[in-house]
Amino acid sequence: MQPAAHAGRDLVDRFGRQISYVRLSVTDRCDLRCRYCMAEKMQFLPRRDLLSFEEIATLADLFIARGVRRIRLTGGEPLVRRDVGRLVRMLGERIGRGLEELTLTTNGTQLARFAALLHEAGVRRVNVSLDSRDPERFRYITRRGDLAPVLHGIEAAAVAGLAVKINMVALRGLNEDEIAPMLGWCAERGHDLTLIETMPLGEVEEDRTCHYLPLDRVRRRLEERFELVPSLRRTGGPARYWEVVGTRIRLGLITPLTGNFCAGCNRIRVAATGTVYGCLGHDQKVELRDLLRNGGPGAVDAALDRLVAGKPEGHDFRIEAARPAVERHMSVTGG
Ligand code: SAM
Ligand code: SF4
């Protein structure tokens, strides 16, 4: 499918925010069941409902033609989708031809197997989620995971030449005491660290309020051990950054609850079915799968215009609310 007449027209919303970044979920499935992310028993999508790799590549071309410069593959766990290396290679061919960067967010369980392929395909940075470096706790938080392959995956990624950023969800009573040691560990290895507040997305068995940990408090504690200097770095994403003085790394904080991050939002999120969401915290969406199959590029472009025109100003997450802000789990849109 060739880009249509809208090609060259950037996707700019009514608040003047230009969409240059797409998070693309390639599957809602995962080999872990992190307690804050998923319910223990999840109903996953039938495979026939997923976009094919060719459809994803077509969609990527349409996005690129509309000014998208960065694509992040995510999930669920992106590396558990069958033959995902083929998709990474297909999208990697777009780097330098409109696409500036292809990245990936992963839980790391399969990373050792994929690290070299990712680098060969043009990926240069990966985010790896790691909430604990204690094997027992890691298993508890993920409900089933082994820590060793994840640590091995992180090493393999670094050896393959990938910059690794660690994502850690800060969980009161579960990993709070590991945050400062994690920052030290990351500093030794040259991995940036981003801490994330739990967000109320989708029903899970746990009461998220029990483990909710406000990151302003965490930062004050870290400052007793590390010198943190606010960084001017802005990515259009939810994180605010601090330089960790005396190290090569940055600390990022994603604070949807204690500090809304929406004003500079530059992103939209594609679920594995081709549903595209304007905001992580709202249901505003367009369905692109049928349009990709039967509608032609003009129809997809028009739907993207509708999505961006209606992109909400921001989320209104409240951790104490009785119900999640939206029904879908984070694993549908991949963060
Ligand atoms: N499976 C991959 C992983 O874990 O990195 C990619 C998808 S995962 C949904 C993306 C990120 O979202 C992870 O860093 C995860 O910790 C985070 N996440 C999932 N559910 C969350 C929630 N309810 N609140 C905050 N972060 C969440
Ligand atoms: Fe899977 Fe990532 Fe969700 Fe954990 S956070 S259950 S690894 S999708």
Distance 74 CA to ligand 2 centre (A): 10
pLDDT digits (tens, 9 = 90+) for 20-30: 999 999 999 99
**Closest ligand 1 atom to Cα of 75:** 7
% the chain with pLDDT above 90:
77
- Of 27, 28, 30, 254, best ligand 2 pocket probe by most atoms within 8 Å of the beta carbon: 30
% the chain with pLDDT above 70:
95
Average pLDDT of every residue of the chain? 92
Strand order in the sheet with 125-129: 228-230, 239-244, 250-254, 192-196, 163-169, 125-129, 101-106, 70-74, 21-25, 267-270, 275-277, 285-287
Taking the C-alpha atoms of residue 83 and residue 85, their distance in angstroms, rounded to an integer, is 5
- Stretch 155-171: mean pLDDT: 98
**Residue pair 274/58 in contact by the 8 Å Cβ criterion:** no
Q: Say yes or no: CB of residue 80 within 6 Å of ligand 2.
A: no
- Of 169, 191, 253, best ligand 1 pocket probe by most atoms within 8 Å of the beta carbon: 169
Distance 28 CA to ligand 2 centre (A): 9
Q: Say yes or no: CB of residue 30 within 6 Å of ligand 2.
A: yes
pLDDT band at 262 (very low <50, low <70, confident <90, very high): confident
pTM: 0.95
Which residue ranges form the domains of the chain, and what is each CATH number?
21-333 (3.20.20.70)
313: number of Cβ within 10 Å: 15
